[in-house]
Amino acid sequence: MSLESLEQDILAQVAAASDEAALEAVRIASLGKKGAVSERMKELGAMAPEERKAAGAALNVLKDKVAEALSARKAALQELALEARLASEKIDVTLPVRPLQQGTVHPVSQVWEEVVQIFGDLGFAVAEGPHIEDDFHNFDALNMPPEHPARQEHDTFYFNEKPDGTRMVLRTHTSPVQIRTMLSEKPPIRIIAPGRTFRSDSDMTHTPMFNQIEGLVIDETTHMGHLKWVLHEFCKAFFEVDDVKMRFRASHFPFTEPSMEIDINCSWEGGQVKIGVGDSWLEILGSGMVHPNVIKAGGLDPSKYQGFAFGMGLDRVAMLKYGIPDLRAFFEADLRWLRHYGFKALQVPTLAGGLS
């Protein structure tokens, strides 16, 4: 093979090398110890001095050309590899955020938000109170004096007696927030108080810690018609139905007079509960007109002020709305349960966008 065709051959291989490994193979096959160019160099020894001089010079030129081509190709390949990597690692910051795959919003948090939104729209503010309550706020001020039988129904968690003989309790309902609000705010009062409550009780529908939402409206002319309208509006918005029938059942709570438990109509077709259709009834909350003794304990004049209150189980309405069968699972922190019943953080139902 002539030197020219050897050169063409090698340069063509250099140009065709598609990555650095292929290029290295071309280098070894040409300039390596046993490469084509090196083999030609070895032949020089057998030549006559004049011939060797000319052939040696030509071979050196070829060697330089090949080395130069190899390094130019290498630089080009590195450039190409970098461009490919930059292209593959590019982040388009204008794309929407990828949804969070890991965490979910707990159904109680979700329902809590929904309820706050609905009552917020109706002009209610959110009020809070402590989980550890004194006897006055949890019982006495709510018209449950020390020997009142209703105290027994609450399965209360008591703390150890203090030196003065009093005992703190884990609040058994959110109703103490009624008292705290009346003592700290002037009417008109329009609040809801969502929060944790505690009773020593545990089965499919009871857990020692659960969530309630309290409602309280105090004004000079607030009457049962307002109570009925507010709760009807709430039920329609919360369960996302055009209408729902409500049944007011006479009941008894020490802190309201009269007291009513409220049922809404539903059907149980196919073992699934549907709200607002059907002839079955489902109890969803306790309510009534605030007892004059409670208004008095709240520091207000019952001959001037009146109003209504209600209390609803938040976990219970979460179970009803989202078809969750067992309350105990709410508080077991089982990831499989949370993934199944939880809401994706960026896709939670909202009032504006439709709740579910």
Our finding on whether 309 is near ligand PHE (CB under 6 A) is yes
CB count within 10 Å of CB 130 equals 14
Q: Which two tokens stand for residue 333?
A: 């922190």
Sole binder of ligand PHE in the list 13, 30, 104, 175 (CB under 6 A) = 175
Site for ligand PHE in 95-154 (CB under 6 A): none
Please, which residues bridge with residue 283 across strands? 263
Beta carbon of residue 258, minimum distance to ligand PHE (angstroms, whole number): 11
Number of residues that bind ligand PHE (CB under 6 A): 11
Sole binder of ligand PHE in the list 198, 310, 341, 343 (CB under 6 A) = 310
Evaluate whether 295 touches 256 at the Cβ level (below 8 Å). Answer: no
Sole binder of ligand PHE in the list 173, 190, 316, 321 (CB under 6 A) = 173
H or E segment to which residue 295 belongs: helix 292-297
Sole binder of ligand PHE in the list 144, 297, 311, 338 (CB under 6 A) = 311
Beta carbon of residue 260, minimum distance to ligand PHE (angstroms, whole number): 8
Strand ranges, E, within 30-73:
none
Q: Give me the DSSP letters along 103-124.
A: -EE-HHHHHHHHHHHHHHHTTP
* Closest by Cα among 342, 311, 322, 293 to 199: 311
Evaluate whether 73 touches 23 at the Cβ level (below 8 Å). Answer: yes
Beta carbon of residue 304, minimum distance to ligand PHE (angstroms, whole number): 21
Beta carbon of residue 144, minimum distance to ligand PHE (angstroms, whole number): 10
CA–CA distance, 265 with 247 (Å, rounded to integer): 8
Beta carbon of residue 187, minimum distance to ligand PHE (angstroms, whole number): 17
Site for ligand PHE in 230-289 (CB under 6 A): 253, 256, 286-288
For residue 165, is it left (φ>0), alpha (ψ between -120 and 50) or beta?
left
Amino acid at 241: V
Choose between 173 and 316: whose C-beta lies nearer to ligand PHE: 173
Beta carbon of residue 300, minimum distance to ligand PHE (angstroms, whole number): 17
Binding stretches for ligand PHE (CB under 6 A): 173, 175, 214, 253, 256, 286-288, 309-311
